[in-house]
Chains A and B, each alone.
Chain A
């Protein structure tokens, strides 16, 4: 089963924990298997990522509908704040960002609105290209880029302020 680790990692960060990720991946693989018979797949990894992502959204809608409501709000935030926030406060020290421990990284990622989180995870965890992320999420490349920028800015902001 190629790309299973990718699918699992994506599900792991979208749902926020390992047990739920297994359910999502299992569901995704069933869907993938079912659609394999009808379609030819040009980019298997991006294809499986898209299916996993959709399976994760279905799972979230069923088990944690509140997360998805937040996702709707995120699009507004995008329009309001633009791609990268330039606040008046001084930018955080990169040393602080690097000093962040595992639990604060987990919490910071979990706190990201879903569209930002999935763009960030696909890029930083799975190493997908902008084009692949756009294909998997169904968003235009420009949107992917600004979501990614927003996600990173939020993480830098949160992690750079230490344990505040």
Chain B
């Protein structure tokens, strides 16, 4: 028997011992064992070794301390990244750690404050929108250009602001156009359309300000007792405010959006 054949035979018998063979292979191994006393001796030794290993090198349960340590680690790494990677050898906390954590806290707090301000931008700007609407009611002069004709209002706005404002006529829906004015939101002039419903006015400010926090779908909230609906279109953000009941303001927003989307998607006309 060549050296190679011997090897293959040994591996076949080992695979049989490890129960890795299919039926055909197992039968072959069985035949080898039946006809070869050396092979049977090898098998006996393998069995003996396995019994010895079972006795002295069995699979062990992980210690309870390790288990609890891992659980604690996983919990903390869920919440805070992998900060806990090093508590296998806890060092006594020194003043450096405290100083470092205080500094980190300051940095994080300042950063957060900045972030929160940005995120809260809609709320910050909403007060300007509300103020603009209130002032327009008190002054008795809600519009700078008074016209129910969108083809008058739109050019007027275009002459004041470098913007293509979408002006829609909602007379058929019960919200005739009154005109437009320019409000100052933050430090930015924004076009505000004014519509009328019964004796109530609706102001719609088109905001150019960017913030991640504007809702994609119209969201109603009450500010200073006024219902305000804020929503985002593809290129613009709107805030509508009125002293109408909230449900009627929402109906207005639905009508406004429907008409505006018709204009935005219509083929070029004016």
Contact = CB atoms under 8 A, between A and B. Distances in A.
**Chains A and B belong together in one complex:** yes
Interface of A: 1, 4-9, 12-13, 18, 22-23, 25-26, 29-30, 33-34, 82-84, 86, 91-92, 94-95, 97-98, 100-102, 105-106, 109, 121, 123-127, 129-130, 145-146, 148-149, 152, 155-156, 159-160
A107 B91 CA distance: 34
Nearest to A4: B62
B100 interface: no
Interface of B: 3, 6-7, 10-11, 14-15, 18, 20, 41-42, 44-53, 55-63, 65-67, 69-71, 73-74, 77, 82, 85, 88
Given A33-B74, A98-B51, A105-B53, A12 B6 contact: no
Given A105-B52, A145-B14, A94 B45 contact: yes
Nearest to B15: A145
Interface of A is mostly: helix
Contacts, number: 122
A46 to B, nearest CB: 15
Nearest to B19: A129
B56 A101 contact: yes
Contact of B70 (A1, A109, A130): A1
Nearest to B59: A9
Given A91-B42, A94-B44, A149-B11, 9 more contacts: A5-B60, A5-B62, A6-B59, A23-B88, A30-B73, A33-B77, A106-B57, A127-B59, A159-B52
B7 A26 contact: no
Given A4-B67, A26-B69, A30-B77, A130 B59 contact: no
B62 A7 contact: yes
